[in-house]
Amino acid sequence: MAGATAQTASEAEVLFNKKQYAKAGAAYEMLLRKKPADALNNYRLARCYYELKDYESAIKHFELSGNKYPLKDLYLGEMYYVTYRFEQSVTAYQAYVATLKPDDKSLAELEQKIKKAELGVKLLNRVEDIAIVDSVVVNKNDFLKYYKLSAEAGTLEQQRIKPDSKQSWDKIIYTTERGDRRFQSDSLKGNINLFSAIKLLDDWAAPVALPATVNTPANENYPFLMLDGITLYFASDGDNALGGYDIFITRYSPANKGFLAPENVGMPFNSMANDYMLAIDEPNGLGYFATDRNQPTGKVIIYTFVPNDVVTLVKTEDSELLRKSAMLKTYRKSGVKPKKQYIADLDALVEPDGAFEIIINDTTVYRNVSDFKNPIAVTRFKEWTKLKEDLKVAKVELDQKRKQYAATEKAEDKETIARTIITLERKIESLESTEKNKFTEICNEEIKFLNTKIK
């Protein structure tokens, strides 16, 4: 047994060093069945999960690896951040900074990460409670055609500009309902900034850049002016953003003849991904915003929501519920019936936590349940989703039992737990096999149906 364990450890290290993280992870899982509390194996397994972007599993095993490996806190700082555990992110980053020398070149970047995590702590305490009417995944390059604004709300136009061979941006032009005023984005000195222009008798005046309170050294884009003529929404990827573009609000002050300091509109509108183009159609009582969180490259999800007359916050003592609300993994589904020019399909609403991408064949990719043409494939898909949920629950239970085994001292109790662990491992193995077969059934049923239709 000792020889077999050593060989497995050696093989795991070889796979790890070759960056074959899936295979290495399986080897380290096997090692941890024998020694659940082993610091190195937990650390290496956590690294495998991290590289495979399974952050929840990575966090668990980094936490089990103890304090022997300082880099653990750097990884934890990042993963706590992207999973909205902001206070823990600050603590982890600070713990890692404490291990560095005062002249370490990475300190400036780490201080910026800590600043963003502290912003996350602040915003998580003010998560707005919004009601979602609809959501749809679309191509980013023409996403604005899905914004069904009433004529009174003004018009939005999307163009693509390439200031150089390396960059490509959306140029957004918002025009008021009366057609007398514009806010638009355009390139300026290597960035994209916001400009305004007024209508002359037969043409538009030259665009004027908005002041430095709005246009920062970062990028500002995606303007939308409310009907009051003074409230401006836009997106910025500057210092006060969580990551990528965040949505901001500012107001024009007639007394000061300028815009007030913009404020981050907070969660769930903003995330670590790109969030932008918040537009509110006041006559129809609907709002829109776009985000590429949890989406493949080139895709964005557009949420249609019911704007609150007064900002209403999510009130809960349940930190997990608050975190999920901030991530838009849970929200109220509105029963509002939009005006006739916008028909919401509530049954086809895409939950971000359930986003998927299924390659049916070389030319067909499904990202929504409503994409399926074959009712049998829909049934198989629901069965597959249930299997995935059962598999997730079983893995959580297995992880808990392994921790329990590591913390138990009595031999007879350890033996009982060990039997449960073996049963769970077999169950997971069976579920994984069934889940794989069910996925194949989904694709086969849909392909057969599509081929029949073609004939």
CATH, residue 22: 1.25.40.10
| Residue where a domain stops, chosen among 315, 350, 385 | 350
Mean pLDDT by 10 residues, the chain (455 residues): 56 91 90 92 95 93 93 97 96 96 94 97 95 91 93 95 85 95 92 94 92 95 96 96 96 88 96 97 94 92 92 91 91 57 33 54 68 81 84 86 82 84 88 85 79 57
- For tokens 């990827």, the residue is 237
CA separation for the pair 429, 311 (Å, rounded): 48
* Cα–Cα distance measured from residue 349 to residue 8, given in angstroms and rounded to the nearest whole number: 47
Report yes or no on 340 lying in a domain.
Answer: yes
Single out the residue in 317, 350, 383 at which a domain terminates.
350
pLDDT at 356: 62
* Residue 364: inside a domain: no
| Domain final residue, candidates 350, 379, 414 | 350
Is 158 found in the same domain as 275?
yes
pTM to 2 decimals? 0.72
CA atoms of 116 and 361, how far apart (whole Å): 42
Of 354, 391, 366, give the one whose Cα is nearest residue 442. 366
Give, in order, the Cα–Cα distances in Å from 44 to each of 6, 21, 69, 339, 405: 15, 10, 10, 55, 20
User: Quick one: 169 and 314 in the same domain?
Assistant: yes
Please report, for the domain that includes residue 291, its CATH number: 2.115.10
Domain identity same for 255 and 344? yes
Q: Identify whether 361 is part of a domain.
A: no
State whether 339 and 385 are in the same domain: no
Cα–Cα distance for residue pair 428/277, rounded to 1 Å: 43
In a domain, 32, yes or no: yes
Q: Is there a domain that residue 359 lies in?
A: no
Range of the domain at 276: 131-350
Full strand arrangement of the beta sheet holding 155-161: 155-161, 169-175, 181-188, 191-198, 208-209
Q: Are residues 139 and 229 in the same domain?
A: yes
pLDDT of residue 229: 92
Is residue 150 located within the same domain as residue 167?
yes
Residue-level pLDDT at 351: 38
Structure tokens given for 116: 């963003």
Question: Do 306 and 405 reside in the same domain of the chain?
Answer: no
| 293 in a structural domain | yes
Note whether 157 and 71 are same-domain residues.
Answer: no
- Looking at the structure, tell me whether residues 98 and 195 fall in a common domain: no
Supply the pLDDT for residue 329. Answer: 85
Extract the tokens encoding 435: 């889940």
Position 336 scores a pLDDT of 59
Residues 31 and 139 in one domain: no
Q: Are residues 114 and 175 in the same domain?
A: no
Q: Tell me how many domains the chain contains.
A: 3
Give the C-alpha separation, 238 to 288, whole Å: 22
- Whether 270 is covered by a domain: the verdict is yes
Q: Which residues of 124-152 are buried (b: 16+ CB within 10 A; e: fewer)?
A: beebbebebbbbbbbebeebbebbbbeee
Say whether both 194 and 319 belong to one domain.
yes
pLDDT of residue 413: 83
Q: Looking at the domain assignment, is residue 362 inside a domain?
A: no
